[in-house]
Structure 1
């Protein structure tokens, strides 16, 4: 009878061990899936970092280009205003000279 009790207990223990092994197998599968997904997330984060770095470089380049363009535009505008002012000053000088000639007569 004691042997039957021990055999019954052993059978129960074997069943429990089989159940635990099945659950462990399921846990291992879940962990493997999580690791694969984590690996995918790491790759995605790496790609995002790379694209962000490229974006920042492009932003710096565009900022430099915009500043350069504004500088060129300013220089052209300044030359235009200077040329127009010089032409206007010449006209005023001629008019003043003519007026002086007329007033002297």
Structure 2
């Protein structure tokens, strides 16, 4: 083939392929933007997963704290009741002793 024919063929191919190349460039840009968006979505999902893990840990700790607090409250109530019961028993003993003393005096 002659140079002229080669140049003409090259020119025709270039003209025909140019719109295809432009379309492919546009597709590449859109794919690039989609990749960026997917990367952002992945980052957001990672943050959400980390937040969910933190919430679960916090919930577990809260449950432990509630159970521990309930145990402490129960212990405090029991101790208070025991103290009041002991004081009341002492008063009853004192009254019974006094009644027995008075009974003996009157007999």
Shorter-chain TM range is 0.7 to 0.9
Superposition deviation, residue 62 in structure 1 = 2.0
Range with bigger deviation, 81-90 or 18-27: 18-27
> Partner residue of 2:80?
80
Q: CA offsets per residue over residues 38-63 of structure 1, 9 Å max, x none? A: 01111111121112112211221122
> Partner residue of 1:46?
46
> For 1:1-105, what aligned pairs fall within 5 Å after superposition?
11=12, 15-104=15-104, 105=106
Task: Name the SS for the 2:68 alignment partner.
Answer: helix
TM-score (norm 1): 0.78
Q: CA offsets per residue over residues 71-103 of structure 1, 9 Å max, x none? A: 112101101110101100110121122112223
RMSD: 2.0
Range with bigger deviation, 58-67 or 22-31: 58-67
TM-score (norm 2): 0.77
Task: Name the SS for the 1:95 alignment partner.
Answer: helix
Q: Where in structure 1 are there 5+ consecutive unaligned residues?
A: 1-6
Superposition deviation, residue 14 in structure 1 = 5.5
Q: Where in structure 2 are there 5+ consecutive unaligned residues?
A: 1-7
